[in-house]
Amino acid sequence: MIPQSFVQDLLNRVDIVDVVGRYVQLKKGGANFSGLCPFHNEKSPSFTVSPTKQFYHCFGCGANGTAIGFLMEYSGLGFVESVKDLAQNVGMTVPEQEDRLPPAQRAELQAKTLALSDAMTLACNFFRQQLRSAQPAIDYLKGRGLTGEIAAKYWVGYAPDGWDSLRQVFTDYDDDALVESGLVIDRSDEDNSHRKRYDRFRDRIMFPIRNTKGQVIGFGGRVMGAGEPKYLNSPETPLFQKGSELYGLFEARQAIRDKDYVLVTEGYMDVVALAQYGFEQAVATLGTACTATHVQKLLRQTDNVIFSFDGDAAGRRAARRALEACLPHASDSRSLKFLFLPTEHDPDSYVREHGTAQFEQLVQDATPLSQFLLSEVTEGKDLGTAEGRARVQFDAKPLIQSMPASGLRLQLLRQLAQLTDSTAQELEGLFELRRSTSGRSPGPAVKRSPPVELERQVLRLLLAHPAMHDLLDSEALDLIAQTSPDEGGTLRTVVAAAAGLPEGATLAVLSEALRAQGVELGSLVAEIAAESPSEPDLARKELAGAIRQTTMKSLKAELESLASAGLVTDSAKARYREVSVELEKIRAAVDKDLGD
C-alpha cells in the first residue's frame, strides 16, 4: 500500500502536461492545453489538460483523471506501476508500507534491477545489429512473409551461432547480471573445478519481449530449421514473469484502441505475421497458459478480447484454461470470444494461405464465451438421462461460481436450466450463488429524491477544496442526508476521504483517493477541472453559506410539519418556538453577511 502522502507529493511534483505530452500532441490555448483524445477516434480536439488543476478531461468520450490515471488508462499499467513510473521520472523512491527493507538493501536491489535492465537492452541492440548481416536469418524471415518494416517495429534480431557471441558486447562476460537476466547459462561441476559459461540463445531469430513501458525484459528465440525446442524463452527473472506478460502488447496498444479489440494468439510468429497482414492488434502468451493477470492486462486496453487457438486437442485445452481465467472478469459490458482454427493451421499459416478477408471473417464469427462454456460442460454428456444432466450441472458449478453476479450469469443459468430440465432458481441454490440474478420479482421500488442543486453545490466545493471538510460536521451531514439521501451519502464518503488526506491536498489528490476506494465521480470532477480556479477564502464563505441554506431548508420543513400537525401539544408548541428562533438567528446572520 502506497501512503497517500506520497501520492500527494508525487502529484505536486509531476507536471501532467509533460506526462500527457509524451503521448499526445498538445497545443496551448488559454489557460489549458488541448489535443486529439488518445482514447477514442476524433478529428477535432476535445481533449484538454489543465496545468493548474493537474487534470485531463475529454469532452468527447468523458475520459478524465490525474497523471496517474492517464498512465493507467493509456499504458494499461496498474496503480502501483503507474506511481512507480512517475516517481522514477522525478527522482522519487516509492515507500511502500509493506517494504521493510533497510535503505541500503533497497538501494542495492534497485541497482541490481537496473543492471539487469541495462543488460537486456544491450543484448537486444546486439541481436538487432547481427540480423543486418545474417543472410540466412533474413531469408528465413522473408520466406515467412515479413518485411523489414515489421521486423523493425517489433525489434526482431538474430543470435549468432556461437557459444559466447555476447562477449562482443559485454566486456565482463562473467558478470552475474548476465546469468540473472537469463542471457547466459553458467554450468559447473559439483566441486566447481570446471566451470563453463555460454550464451543461452544461439542461431535463433530473436523476439524481444517488452513490458508496457517499452523496456526489454526477456526474449523468445525461434530456430530456423528443425532444431528443438522450436521456441526457447527467457527463464523467470526479477524482470520477467511469463504469467504476467504478453508479447506484442506494447506495440499493439494503439491498434487495439483503433480496432476496439485485441486478438490473443499462442506464438511470436503469429503476432508479427498478423501485423504484416494488417492485424496489428494481436498479442501472444509466452509459452504458458493464459492467466488471470493476462486477462486483467488485456481488459485495461479494451472490453473486447478474442482468443485464437489451434483446433486440435492442445488448442482446446488451452482455450479451456483461458475460459477459466476470463470468467471472474466476465460482465455485461465486455465481450470475450474464442476463435478456433482448422487443425492444420495456426494464425500465421492461415492468414498467409487464405488472406486477410477470410481471417477477418473468422474473427467476426468467433464463439462467444457463453456458447463456449456451454459446449464445454455438455460435451460427451447424455442429456437424455438424469445422470448426464446432473454431470453437466456438476461441471458447470465451479465455472458459474467464479463469475460475478450479472445479466450474463443470469442468461447462462437460464440456458443451463433448459438443458438440464431445471429452473434458474434451482440452479442458483444448487450452485450456492451468493447474490440472486435469477429474475425473482423485485421488491417495491425505493423512491429516491432527485439530486438537489444546493447539496450538489456543497459537493462541488468540497471536491475543489478538500481542506474545507472541517466545515462539514456530523450535524451538517445529517441535514444534507435528510434533504437529499443520494447526495448526502456521497458527501459523507468524500468528507471522510478528504479528512484522511495530508494538509494541502488538491482536487487531483482527492480524486485519486476516491478512485482507490472505488468511488466514481468522473463527470462531476471533470466539470470542476474545466472551471477556472476559485479563491479558497471565497469558496469557504460559499460553502458556509450553502450549509446555512441547507439548515434553513431543514428548519422550514420542520416548521411546516409541526404546523400541519396542529400544534396540539405543549411540547409541539415549544419545539415550534425553538425552531422559529433558530431560523431567525440564521436569517439574521445571512442578512449581516449580505450587508457586509
Where does the chain hold its CATH 3.90.980.10 domain(s)?
103-240
Determine which of 204-208, 512-516, 589-593 has the lowest per-residue pLDDT on average. 589-593
Structure confidence by residue, pLDDT tens digits, 300-310: 788 899 999 88
What is the pLDDT averaged over residues 105-127?
Answer: 86
Q: DSSP for 340-400? A: E--TT--HHHHHHHH-HHHHHHHHHTPEEHHHHHHHHHHTT--TTSHHHHHHHHHHHHHHH
Tell me, what amino acid is at 542? E
- pLDDT of 122 reads 96
Least confident of 5-14, 19-28, 56-65, 274-283: 5-14
Backbone angles phi, psi at 168, to 5 degrees: -65, -25
Q: Which residue has the cell 558486447?
A: 169
Cell readout for 35 is 489535443
Q: List, for residues 542-553, the tens digit of each pLDDT value.
A: 777 777 777 777
Q: What is the pLDDT of residue 450?
A: 36
- For CATH 1.20.50, the residue range(s) in the chain are 380-430
Fold topology of 453-595: DNAb Helicase; Chain A (1.10.860)
Beta-strand pair 47-50/335-340: unpaired
pLDDT band at 436, cuts 50/70/90?
very low
- Taking a C-beta distance cutoff of 8 angstroms, is the pair 37, 46 a contact? yes
Mean pLDDT, residues 120-125 taken together: 96
**Between the CA of residue 367 and those of 115, 265, 280, 532, what are the distances in Å?**
45, 15, 21, 50
pLDDT tier at 447, thresholds 50, 70, 90 = very low
Pairing of strands 282-284, 262-265: parallel
CATH of 244-373, one of 2.60.120.430, 3.30.1540.10, 3.40.1360.10, 3.30.9.100: 3.40.1360.10
| The predicted structure's pLDDT at residue 464 | 80
C-alpha cell at 347: 494464425
Confidence at residue 455, expressed as pLDDT on a 0 to 100 scale: 65
Indicate the CATH number of 103-240 among 3.40.50.720, 3.90.980.10, 3.40.1190.20, 1.10.287.3510.
3.90.980.10
Nearest to 288 by CA among 236, 253, 326: 236
Task: Provide CATH 3.40.1360.10 ranges for the chain.
Answer: 244-373
Mean pLDDT estimate for the chain: 83
Each residue of 534-593: pLDDT tens digit?
Answer: 677 777 777 777 777 777 777 777 777 777 777 778 887 788 888 788 778 777 766 565
For residue 190, is pLDDT > 70? no
Over the stretch 27-58, which tens digit does the pLDDT of each residue have?
887 778 889 988 887 888 888 888 777 888 88
Q: How confident is the model at residue 444 (pLDDT cuts 50, 70, 90)?
A: very low
- Tell me the mean pLDDT in the region 265-287: 92
- Which residue intervals of the chain bear CATH 3.90.580.10? 4-89
178 band by pLDDT with thresholds 50, 70 and 90: very high
C-alpha cell at 298: 488485456
Question: According to the model, what pLDDT value does residue 451 have?
Answer: 38
> What CATH class is the domain 380-430?
mainly alpha
The grid coordinates of residue 467 equal 481542506
Residue intervals in the chain for CATH 1.10.860: 453-595
Instruction: Mean pLDDT check: name the lowest of 111-115, 201-205, 377-381.
Output: 111-115
Which region among 128-132, 473-477, 530-534 has the lowest average model confidence (pLDDT)? Answer: 530-534
Whether the predicted pLDDT of 142 surpasses 50? yes
> Amino acid letter at 490?
T
Left if phi > 0, otherwise alpha if psi is -120 to 50, otherwise beta: which for 552? Answer: alpha
How is 465-532 classified by DSSP, letter by letter?
Answer: -GGGGGG--HHHHHHHHHH-HHHHHHHHHHHHHHHTSPTT--HHHHHHHHHHTT---HHHHHHHHHSP
Q: Is 4-89 assigned to CATH 3.90.580.10?
A: yes
How confident is the model over 470-502, as pLDDT tens digits? 777 777 777 666 665 555 567 788 888 878 777
Percent of the chain clearing pLDDT 90 (strictly above): 36
> Would you state the pLDDT for residue 596?
52
